[in-house]
Amino acid sequence: MKDKLTIIKDKAIEEINSIDSLDTLEKIRVDVLGKKGELTLVLREMGKLSKEERPVMGKLANEVREAIEAEMAEKKEALSKLLRDEKLKSEIIDISLEKNDIQLGHFHPLIKTLEELEDLFVSMGFKVLTGPEIETVANNFDALNSPDNHPSRDMSDTFYIDEETVLRTHTSPVQIRAMKEYGAPLKMVSAGRTFRFDDVDDTHSPMFHQIEGLVVDEKISMANLLGTLETFIKEFFGSDMQTRYRPHHFPFTEPSAEVDVTCHHCHGKGCPACNNTGWSMELLGCGMVHPKVLENCGIDSEKYTGFAFGMGIDRIAMVKYGINNIRLLFENDNRFLNQF
């Protein structure tokens, strides 16, 4: 048995030293040390030895195994290093290679406007809240005091997913969710994408962006609304920007108004951009929160009042940057985007 063990060791070491692949090394390990390997088969004959011979042969067998395993470990390390060096040579990158200049991106004017609006309202004490773009009819229409026969509920105006679910037509449902969750007092804005069946023209798109604000507290009046909007408009567009309020109707506010601002190009003097009227497009809608909307959200309308306003971020960007076509905001034309 001693001779067999010596032969197995010498043969295995000789084979290990002559190979050049990890696969062949693994095959040698299995052939020699595996369950049916040469060394294993010899060790199974230990039972035939006398009591005196077993410890001696057992010690020798362990030394043979350790010698083979040590040789295999050393060979494995050498082969692995060789493969690693070859891989590094094949994957080397020539950092001196000439390349084209990389153009760095920048904020899209729409996203820049959105973040500037949020930052401004945060500085005025508002908190920013968000909500889902897929909304319930209850939050999008019912809780906002929208009559069952209101045109905005028609399938020609709204994208319905099913009878109870729509793509939100405004960000007002976020206000409903906020009032139900936080109650009053509340001072918040919400911004995001909204969806309506609109014809595509210079100022309309079926997907657009809105930011809406809501303040609910005791003794809130129209004067608070006007003061807030005047502060926002002059801070955002400049102190020389003038406003005008036109009576309007929204189901969720009463009284309601639409707000126009002077032309960003001529500042009210009249120019081709504003058709010589001195006024830009309608900027936002606003009004005092309808008592029914407060009650729908579990807020006591006898104790609390509030105001709300909403505006298209796309139109804000158009007014601020003098953009005359809303399509330009969505076409990703570098000739347009690089101007910003």
Residue 270 domain boundaries? 109-337
Residue 51 has pLDDT above 90, yes or no: no
pTM of the predicted protein model: 0.66
- How much is the average pLDDT of 14-38? 83
Please give the tally of structural domains in the chain. 2
Residue 96 lies in a domain: no
Q: Let me know whether 64 and 174 are in one domain.
A: no
Query: Does residue 67 sit in the same domain as residue 163?
Result: no
Query: Do both 64 and 120 map to the same domain?
Result: no
Looking at the structure, do residues 83 and 117 belong to the same domain, yes or no? no
pLDDT in tens, 239-259: 888 889 999 999 999 999 999
Separation between Cα atoms, residue 223 and residue 299, nearest integer Å: 21
Domain harbouring 314, CATH code: 3.30.930.10
- Same domain for 84 and 187? no
Domain match, 82 and 149 both: no
Tell me: the pLDDT tens digits for 59-100? Answer: 777 788 888 888 888 888 888 888 888 888 887 776 776 777
Among 11-25, 150-164, 202-216, 249-263, whose mean pLDDT is lowest? 11-25
Same domain, 76 and 136: no
**What pLDDT, on the 0 to 100 scale, is given for residue 24?**
87
- Which of 61, 90, 119 is the last residue in one of the domains? 90
Selection from 320, 331, 330 nearest residue 237 by Cα: 320
- Do 269 and 196 have their domain in common? yes
Strands (E) across the chain are located at 127-128, 134-136, 160-162, 165-167, 186-195, 207-217, 243-250, 253-262, 279-289, 305-312
Q: Quickly list DSSP for 21-80.
A: -HHHHHHHHHHHHSTTSHHHHHHGGGGGS-TTHHHHHHHHHHHHHHHHHHHHHHHHHHHH
Domain termination residue (choose one: 90, 117, 134): 90
Last residue of a domain, one of 58, 90, 122: 90
One-letter amino acid for residue 229 of the chain: L
What does pLDDT average to over the chain?
88
Pair (75, 203) in one structural domain: no
Say which residue the tokens 């060096």 belong to. Answer: 85
Average pLDDT over residues 291-295: 96
Residues 275 and 323 both lie in one domain: yes
